Every structure is written in structure tokens, then in C-alpha cells.
Amino acid sequence: MYLRPTTVRKNGRVYGYWKLVESYRTERGPRQRTVAYLGQMDEAGRLGIEQAADPEPASRQRQLFGEPDPEPRYVEIDRTRVRVENCRQFGGPWLALELVRELGLDEFLKRALPPGREQVPWSLTALILMISRFCEPSSELYIAEHFYRHSALSDLLGVSPARVDDNRLYRGLDELLPHKQALEVFLKERFGELFAIEYDLLLYDVTSTYFEGQALANPLAKRGYSRDHRSDCKQVCIGLVVTRCGLPLGYEVFAGNRHDSTTLEEIVETMEARYGTAQRIWVLDRGMVSEENIEFMKKGARQYIVGTPKSQLKRFERQLLDQEWHAIREGLEVKLCDCPDGGTETYILCRSRDRRQKEQAMHARFEKRIEEGLTKIAASGARQKQDVGTISRRVGRLLGKNSRAAGLFDVEVRTAENGAAQIAWKKVEKWRVWAELSDGAYALRSNVRDWTDEDLWRAYIQLTEAEAAFRIHKSDLSLRPVWHHKEERVLAHILVCFLAYVLWKFLGQLCRRAGLGDEPRRVLKELSELRAVDVVLFTRDGNDIHTRCVTQPSDHQKILLHRLGLELPRHLRMTQM
């Protein structure tokens, strides 16, 4: 679900309101429908007036900007000389700080990083790093020289821009890193208090992020399988554990050449040592599947749901032909199957119509490419005499680039009477029959015996939450590429991205609770348009008055603020530190 702004014109006036829209699939493609209308301009204005008139507003927001405004004092001003200056970003940093304080992260950092002889407490430096990553991901140098100076963060935190430089931010990374484990434990408990989160289902997946540069000072930087398609760069792997709703529990950083399956035992034991060995179900991608991992999970009496390689479907050819399927929704069917080897595991066969259409289109595309390529190779061999080795290598490269349909072709390269290489091929219809049967199908395996096929499938599909977490880390929070070279700085950079993601998911939970859908990106973008400005007023007696104000929110912004229970300050205090 997502938010859509809408305006209507009535009696010569324009009214703005928000709609909560849901996207769903039909046979004719994706469609959208309105779930709820969230408010109109006049209602938002009336609510704002009622809150302003209430001496004790019910908002959960704490007072952040000092004492209430004093009694009004009236002066005569020259309206022709009124000017606005020093326009800075306000909405994003202010919203991020609200999230930090609601989570209690600011108090935790004060306890974990007590002030010493430094001019700016390390707890505030950590907040600058975290909020900057949440609002405008960039390097420490850019934060110090651009973002911090052009945002209202200095007023919100009370730290002058003159005291924030890249060296202080780098030192802040070093001070924050040792508290990674304590932060993860604190956030897990805090989320449980705020949202009654259940931790019975843990989703684990692995991604990678690459380095710009040689990263010679980082022993974890290795070349390996790159999810970013940057095999030319060194990388590190990151294993992330999230709940069924995508809230992060913790993460670990591994060497860039580690295979996914080799990280499972380490991450499971780490989570159990940190949060206990309560009965939980681990949901794992098929990249984690190995017999050693399965034995490890069984040995510790751990429950799991894992994907399986495509090759496993061969064991269930008879079940695929059967018609006894359970339809979960339109275009998706599942069925439970016993383990072919007679073990205690349960297999879940799944068949998706959309996935089948996609795979069939891929096979057709690759089949066409191979056929055209083989025709071209045969024509070149007829024009110019070539040896068998050359032709065989060309055929091998062609099949390797189009491996999805390579099994369909039986290619033979032989030597003709004149010594030249000849090529002949035929299509393997048995492969095509199996492809038509297995397209769109996949198998899961689990040792959970008391769940239905639908429960097991829905639990496994929650892995999309971990995949979404990686997308947000990489796109919205700019986890990649990594420009740091020292191992500790790289680990601290990943920690700051993790904390910014915590704020992201916290905002998502607040949006969901407020009936604003489950996509916080639109809310952040809308509120980020708010600005802090300095208004200069010239009075009749020759003096000028400088006041720092927040711009008036639009009708759509008022509705969002009301739904989230937030109230904008009218004035900001000047930087003090």
C-alpha cells in the first residue's frame, strides 16, 4: 500500500487530501484500488486549530524547543523591507530526530558514550552521522561541508557548523563501532516494547557491497560473487537477520569471498548467544542449503524452512503431474509432499503462473539466441576452413552465455573429409517436455510438521522482507559503494547504515499504525520539503528583528503530521554549542 495525493476543486476553492491505495494483481495485470481517504484540507485545518487551542495537547511528541512562546509583543514594521534569508532543510532532520527520541536512541548513546574532554559529545556526533545517512546519504566530507551547514540539524542538536568537520565525524565512527552488539540488543527490546513484535520467525539472507579502490588495509575485502555485478571490485558480504515484518535484529560482516552457506552456522550461534535459544523458525534462501547446514540445524533441534535448487524438482516429477493442488490465490498453487528418502522433512511444491510465463519467455529468448548463434558459426565454418578446437570453443561460449536453454541443444562438432570442422545440432525434446512441466515450479523443505502448506509458503515468502531491506540499504541509504579502506571504518560505515535503516523501519511501523500504509518513502519525501528560514523585520524605530521560523506546512503535510501525532515547532532556538 502507498499514499497518493489528490486535490479537488469545489466552489472555486482547491481542497487537498490523501488516499491510501493498494496495488493488486489481476488476470489483466496490476491494478490499484483506494483503501481509505485519509483527510481533507478543512478537516486538517480544524484539527490544527483545535490542537493549538488545547493547553495540554494529547500529542505523544515531547517538547524539544524550550519554553512556550512568551506573551505577544507588537511593534510597527516596514513591510516593504521584510526579507527571508538562510533557507535550510528542516523536515527530514527534524523527523529523523523525532524518531531517534521516540526510540530512545539518544539516551542510549548518552549512556554508552559519556561526555569527556571533547568539544562535541560523541553521542551527538553519532546522531549527526545517523540522521545524515537517513536524510541525505553521503560521505563524511560532504556532511561536514554541505549537508550539515545547509540543514537545520545544527539548531536541532545545538552544535555549531563550525565544530563539525570530517575528522570529527571519522572519530565518531571509531567511537560508535564498539557498541554495535549493545545497540542491537537495545533496539530489539525497544521494538518489542513499542510494537509487541514476535520473534518466532527469523529471516536470514546475505548480500554484498563493493569497494572503490584497492582496500589494501582491509583483510575482509576480497573478490567473490558480486550481487552488484561488479566482479572487478573487492567486496565484503553482509548477513542480515530480520523479523517477519522486516525489523532488523542484527547483522554480521564476512569476507567478500565467503559462500552464503558457510555463514549460516556462525550467524545462528551469534543470534542464539545474544537473544537466547527460544523456539524459533529460521527461513533461509536456497543459497544456504547444504547437507552440513541441514545437519547443523537438526542437531540443535532448530526448525527451518529453506528453498531448494531447481534440480530438486526431478525427485517430484510424479507429484508435478498430479492435479491435487491447493490454490492459495489466483495463479498460485502449493501441495505438501513427503520426503522421497523417507526422512522426517516435509517438502512443499509451489507452482506460480506468473513465474511460469516469465521462465517460458526466457527459454524462448535464449533458444532463439542459440539457434541464431549456431547458424552463424556454421556459416562462418563453410566460408573459411577452421579447426575443431576453434569451433568447439565458440560453441561453448555461446551455450555458456545462454545457459537457460543450453540443455535443449545437442551439438556435435566433427571433422569433414577436407579437414575442416563441421557443426550439426538437434533439439532434445525430452528436455523441452521437462521444462514445460517444471516451468514456474519450485520446492521448499522444512522440518516443521504441524503447519499447513499455505502457512509454510507464506512464511518462506517473507524472505522478501530481507531482500527489501538490502534494496533500501543500497538505494535509499547508499550502502554501496564503500569508499573507506580501513577495516574498522568499513564496519562503522555499515553500522551507521544499519541504524539509519532502523529509523526507516521505525517510520514504516508508525505509518502502518497511523493508517498511512507500509511505505514510509512518500511520507519522508513529503515532510522533507519543510524548510527553516530566518525572517528579518525592520521596525519603525530603526531596529531590525531576526527570528528563525519553520515554513507553514501544506494541506497534505498537515494531514500527515496529524496522523503521525507530530507537531511542528513555530520557532527555533539559535545554535548554542
| pLDDT tens per residue across span 362-411 | 999 999 999 999 999 998 888 888 888 889 999 999 999 999 999 999 99
Instruction: Show the domain range for 292.
Output: 197-345+447-485
Question: 415 and 278 in one domain?
Answer: no
Q: Closest Cα partner for 527 from 47, 134, 32?
A: 134
Three-state DSSP state, 505: helix
| pLDDT tens per residue across span 544-568 | 888 888 999 998 999 999 999 999 8
pLDDT for the residue 41: 40
Of the three residues 456, 485, 514, the one that is the final residue of a domain is 485
| pLDDT tens per residue across span 171-208 | 999 999 999 999 999 999 999 888 888 888 899 999 99
Report the distance separating Cα 493 and Cα 497, nearest Å.
6
Please state at what angle helix 122-135 crosses helix 105-112, rounded to 10 degrees.
140
Is residue 403, in this structure, part of any structural domain at all? yes
pLDDT for the residue 130: 96
pLDDT for the residue 56: 44
Burial class of residue 499 (count of CB atoms within 10 Å of its CB; 0-12, 13-18, 19+): buried
Question: 475 and 331 in one domain?
Answer: yes
pLDDT for the residue 539: 84
Question: 456 and 311 in one domain?
Answer: yes
Of the three residues 421, 438, 455, the one that is the final residue of a domain is 438
| pLDDT tens per residue across span 513-543 | 999 887 899 999 999 999 999 888 888 877 7
Question: 340 and 216 in one domain?
Answer: yes
| pLDDT tens per residue across span 2-51 | 677 777 777 777 767 777 777 776 766 677 777 666 665 444 444 443 44
Question: 465 and 418 in one domain?
Answer: no
Question: 421 and 461 in one domain?
Answer: no
Grid cell for residue 120: 562535541
Is residue 167, in this structure, part of any structural domain at all? no
Question: 366 and 233 in one domain?
Answer: no
Is residue 136, in this structure, part of any structural domain at all? no
Is residue 116, in this structure, part of any structural domain at all? no
- Average pLDDT value for the chain: 87
Question: How many domains does the chain contain in total?
Answer: 2
Three-state DSSP state, 58: coil
Question: 412 and 481 in one domain?
Answer: no
How would residue 72 be classed by pLDDT, with cut points 50, 70 and 90? low
Report the distance separating Cα 280 and Cα 277, nearest Å.
8
CATH of the domain at 336: 3.90.350.10
Does the pLDDT of residue 62 top 50, yes or no?
no
Is residue 233, in this structure, part of any structural domain at all? yes
How would residue 71 be classed by pLDDT, with cut points 50, 70 and 90? low
Question: 454 and 319 in one domain?
Answer: yes
The pTM for the full model equals 0.84
